[in-house]
Amino acid sequence: MLPLSPSLLPNLIAACLYAAAFALQATGLSRGVKADKRLLGLLGAVAVVAQGTALFWQLLTPLGLSLDFFSAASLIATAVIAITLLACLRSPVENLLLLLFPLGLLTALIAQFAPSGTVPLINEEPGILAHILLSILAYGLFTIAVFQSLLLLVQDHQLKHKHPSGLIRNFPPLQTMESLLFGFLWAGWGLLTLSLISGWLFLDNLFAQHLVHKTLLACVAWIVFSVLLWGRTRLGWRGHKAIRWTLAGFCLLMLAYFGSKLVREFILHI
């Protein structure tokens, strides 16, 4: 009989807690009331700790850091939920958790049970680890921004048609939602800038054959987000225009990281 993976129990605990937190929040919103914020935060925080524990066992090997496609998705989801839970302490962003808790549940289970592709081990030098951390945090903040933009889109549509649902009635005002979106975008843009700089400093060749597509797409995404933030500052961009630019930049980032990773691990096997 094969020994059980040490990551199995914490991933299952995380999945159950995410499901419980989602059910608690969704049930409250369906009735037009907010769930207990402290209980929601506690369930989410314990789930994040459990998923992080599972990732510790999945990523760290005696030979180096093993960051495969599904573990990377789980790691980014954990970072996204952790950042959102911290943001909830100061800003009214708990509605984002309604979308993020299912994401955490899904990534925890997929990282545990899905087969991994060809995974090259990562050098654990401090500069490389700093580049990876900055990239994950930047991607996480842009993921939050995308979910925030989608909620903003739904809110704007329902308010224009004067049919606000129970979920929308619990949202902050539209102007606050938009300010939160650009707060996440500025933070993500700053971290993406630092990520690109750290890659240039610590990677041997950012335009090596296995990195060139990732680098170019990440640079184009940086330009897209830069134009969006310039347009917001100088031209007052908002609403649907801001949402379209946010989605475009995020799609480029997703292709840069997950697209290239999917091709390398499951198609080219390098």
For 147, the 3-state DSSP assignment is helix
Section 123-150 average pLDDT: 88
152 pLDDT above the threshold of 60:
yes
* Yes or no: domain 1-122 corresponds to CATH 3.30.70: no
pTM of the entire predicted model: 0.88
Alpha helices per DSSP H over the chain: 8-30, 37-59, 69-87, 97-113, 126-160, 166-169, 174-202, 212-235, 239-254, 260-262
What is the residue-averaged pLDDT of the chain? 86
Section 108-129 average pLDDT: 79
268 pLDDT above the threshold of 70:
no
Section 158-167 average pLDDT: 67
Provide the Cα torsion 260, 144, 133, 18; round to 10°. Answer: -100
Instruction: For 192-217, write each residue's pLDDT tens digit.
Output: 999 999 988 887 766 665 667 888 89
1 pLDDT above the threshold of 50:
no
Confidence band for 33, pLDDT divided at 50, 70 and 90 = confident
- Report how far residue 237's alpha carbon sits from residue 235's, in angstroms, rounded to the nearest whole number: 6
| pLDDT score recorded for residue 164 | 61
Instruction: For 34-92, write each residue's pLDDT tens digit.
Output: 788 899 999 999 999 999 999 999 888 777 787 888 888 999 999 999 999 999 998 88
What are the domain boundaries of the chain? Answer: 1-122, 149-270
Burial environment of residue 220 by CB neighbours within 10 A (0 to 12, 13 to 18, 19 or more):
middle
Instruction: Please name which of 152, 139, 116 lies closest in space to residue 244, comparing C-alpha atoms.
Output: 152
* Beta-ladder partners of 65: 60, 122
- Report how far residue 66's alpha carbon sits from residue 61's, in angstroms, rounded to the nearest whole number: 7
Section 228-242 average pLDDT: 92
Section 233-243 average pLDDT: 91
Confidence band for 2, pLDDT divided at 50, 70 and 90 = very low
Burial environment of residue 52 by CB neighbours within 10 A (0 to 12, 13 to 18, 19 or more):
middle
